[in-house]
């Protein structure tokens, strides 16, 4: 028999950092029954890689798992083919089932860094949507009206701005809501941009004579720039599978104002300790950020990797040293030279435009380990010879070093 913590203790843990709880009294009432709740989180495998922003909801789902409740992860193989319009100002591209399945394989492996997969109920909404007849789809669509759909903020804005809204986008909230009916969800989790969809689940459950689910939303965390939401396409994300040293260094680069929301939503540190860590009068911001970077890296890669990443960061950035494990790179010279942008691209990866941008921003240097001298590359077309490169270290950005052999 599952042992449940006192209600107040559960609520404090389960609702940490939430925005909407619809509603708290309903949740408390269900918790008092001392029975496991079915807690739903839906994810659409629209890309193969997860970043830290995706883990916010997973962490809350893990909190429910740890409290003794049944976590249900919905892999939206059918909703992903529609494309979630939440927070978008244009129609999302539709994926094929093969693309969705390929992405789903990596999702589950990455989700295991946060969730207890051994206790996780995993469902694909293709289980029910693939069996629905066209008439059943029409009946589902009849559950809501166009005017109700246009109450949703993003649909309303697009309609007023005369931006197209495809009919299939109206079906998405109904599909997400129907998932809640099919798995008999007691609670559904989502970001603040998902509130309309979560409430649709309540509405459909009520229409089916079920007790409507409790809806819990969490903030959408800003990315590395501190302004826009974390997104791989915006270049401000930290991937779950990012190398530990890169992950640690990127966390150290965030604006100070992000520390409290990141500590709250991306770690399990007690709230009373967060008040201490995020108060510059009590803890220097650099020390607080070191603690944050260590906690995040540790959860994704383990204690040993986090400690190694911490030591590498301190060695490289606090003492100005070149990491001992900096990889060696032997550039291929054409007619005795290589263009600066080609060197950066060959050693560091990325596109030619990325390399040119880094050079233009002064982010590429040639270091001389023996003397400590450094030279900032300014001309992306500069022809570098073996004499320019041999024995030097190429530094790209703040965290990447390559020992050159020419």
Return the CATH number at 276.
Answer: 1.10.240.10
Is the same domain home to 289 and 384? no
pLDDT digits (tens, 9 = 90+) for 152-197: 887 888 888 888 888 888 899 999 999 999 999 999 999 999 999 9
Q: Are residues 333 and 304 in the same domain?
A: no
Same domain, 284 and 368: no
pLDDT higher than threshold 70 for residue 299: yes
* Confidence bin at 89 (pLDDT 50/70/90): very low
Q: Do 64 and 213 share a domain, yes or no?
A: yes
Residues 121 and 256 in one domain: no
Is residue 163 situated within a structural domain?
A: yes
Report if residue 228 sits inside a domain.
no
Pairing of strands 70-75, 121-124: parallel
The mean of the pLDDT values for the chain is 89
Does a structural domain hold residue 335?
A: yes
The answer to whether residue 189 is domain-embedded is yes
Backbone angles phi, psi at 224, to 5 degrees: -60, -30
Please give the average per-residue pLDDT across 309-330, as a whole number.
80
Mean pLDDT, residues 351-376 taken together: 84
- Please indicate, yes or no, if residue 223 is contained in any of the structural domains: no
Q: What is the 3-state secondary structure (H, E, C) of 345-397?
A: HHHHCCCHHHHHHHHHCCCEEEECCCCCCEEECCCCCCEEEHHHHCCCEEEEC
CATH of the domain at 43: 3.40.50.620
Bridge partners (DSSP) of residue 337 are: 334, 385
Residues 314, 337, single domain; the answer is no
* Same domain, yes or no: 308 and 334: no
Residue 1's pLDDT band, with cuts at 50, 70 and 90, is: low
Of 257, 283, 318, the residue at which a domain comes to its end is 318
Question: Based on the domain organization, do 258 and 372 belong to the same domain?
Answer: no
pLDDT at 320: 65
Expressed as residue numbers, the domain containing 368 is: 328-404
Query: Does residue 291 lie in a domain region?
Result: yes
The whole-number pLDDT of residue 84 equals 62
Is-contact 386 345, C-beta < 8 A? Answer: no
Q: What percent of the chain has pLDDT over 90?
A: 55
- Looking at the fold, whether 213 and 248 belong to one and the same domain comes out as no
Looking at the structure, do residues 248 and 282 belong to the same domain, yes or no?
Answer: yes
Domain boundary among 290, 318, 346: 318
Of 25 and 317, the structure prediction assigns the larger pLDDT to 25
Which residues, 6+ apart, have CB-to-CB distance to 379 below 8 Å?
A: 340, 359
Separation CA 283–CA 275 (nearest Å): 10
β-strand pairing of 383-385 with 374-376? unpaired
pLDDT digits (tens, 9 = 90+) for 239-285: 999 999 999 999 988 989 999 999 999 999 998 899 899 998 899 88
Which CATH number goes with the domain that contains 398? Answer: 3.10.290.10
371 pLDDT band, cuts 50/70/90, is low
What confidence score (pLDDT) does residue 92 get?
55
Note the pLDDT tens digit of each residue in 55-83.
999 999 999 999 999 999 999 888 888 76
Are 268 and 308 part of one and the same domain?
A: yes
Whether residue 46 is found in the same domain as residue 191: yes
pTM of this prediction?
A: 0.77
Q: Is 298's pLDDT higher than 70? A: yes
Domain count across the chain: 3
């Amino acid at each position: 028999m599952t042992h449940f913590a006192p209600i107040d203790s559960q609520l404090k843990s389960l609702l940490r950092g939430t925005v909407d709880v619809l509603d708290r009294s309903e949740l408390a009432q269900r918790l008092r029954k001392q029975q496991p709740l079915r807690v739903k989180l839906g994810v659409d495998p629209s890309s193969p890689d997860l970043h830290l922003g995706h883990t916010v909801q997973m962490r809350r789902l893990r909190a429910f798992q740890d409290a003794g409740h049944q976590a249900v992860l919905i892999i939206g193989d059918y909703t992903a083919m529609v494309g979630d319009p939440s927070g978008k100002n244009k129609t999302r591209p539709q994926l094929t089932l093969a693309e969705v399945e390929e992405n789903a394989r990596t999702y589950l492996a990455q989700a295991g860094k946060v969730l207890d997969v051994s206790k996780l109920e995993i469902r694909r909404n293709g289980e029910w949507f693939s069996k629905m007849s066209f008439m059943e789809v029409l009946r589902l669509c009849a559950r809501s009206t166009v005017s109700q759909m246009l109450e949703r903020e993003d649909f309303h804005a697009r309609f007023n701005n005369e931006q197209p809204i495809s009919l299939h986008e109206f079906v998405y909230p109904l599909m997400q809501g129907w998932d809640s009916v099919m798995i008999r969800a007691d609670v559904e989790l989502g970001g603040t941009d998902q509130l309309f969809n979560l409430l649709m689940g309540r509405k459909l459950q009520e229409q089916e004579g079920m007790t409507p689910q409790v809806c819990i939303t969490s903030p959408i965390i800003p990315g590395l720039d501190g302004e826009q939401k974390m997104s791989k396409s915006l270049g401000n994300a930290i991937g779950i599978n990012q190398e530990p040293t890169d992950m640690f260094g990127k966390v150290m680069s965030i604006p100070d104002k992000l520390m409290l929301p990141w500590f709250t939503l991306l770690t399990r540190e007690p709230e009373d300790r967060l008040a201490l860590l995020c108060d510059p009068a009590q803890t220097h911001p650099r020390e607080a950020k070191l603690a944050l970077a260590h906690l995040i890296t540790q959860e994704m890669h383990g204690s040993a990797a986090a400690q190694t990443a911490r030591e590498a960061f301190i060695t490289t950035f606090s003492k100005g040293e070149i990491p001992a494990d900096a990889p060696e790179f032997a550039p291929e010279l054409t007619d005795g030279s290589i263009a600066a942008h080609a060197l950066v691209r060959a050693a560091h990866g990325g596109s030619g435009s990325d390399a040119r941008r880094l050079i233009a921003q002064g982010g590429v240097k040639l270091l001389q380990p023996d003397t400590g001298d450094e030279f900032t590359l300014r001309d992306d077309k500069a022809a570098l010879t073996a004499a320019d490169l041999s024995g030097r270290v190429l530094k790209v950005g703040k965290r990447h070093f390559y020992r050159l052999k020419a």
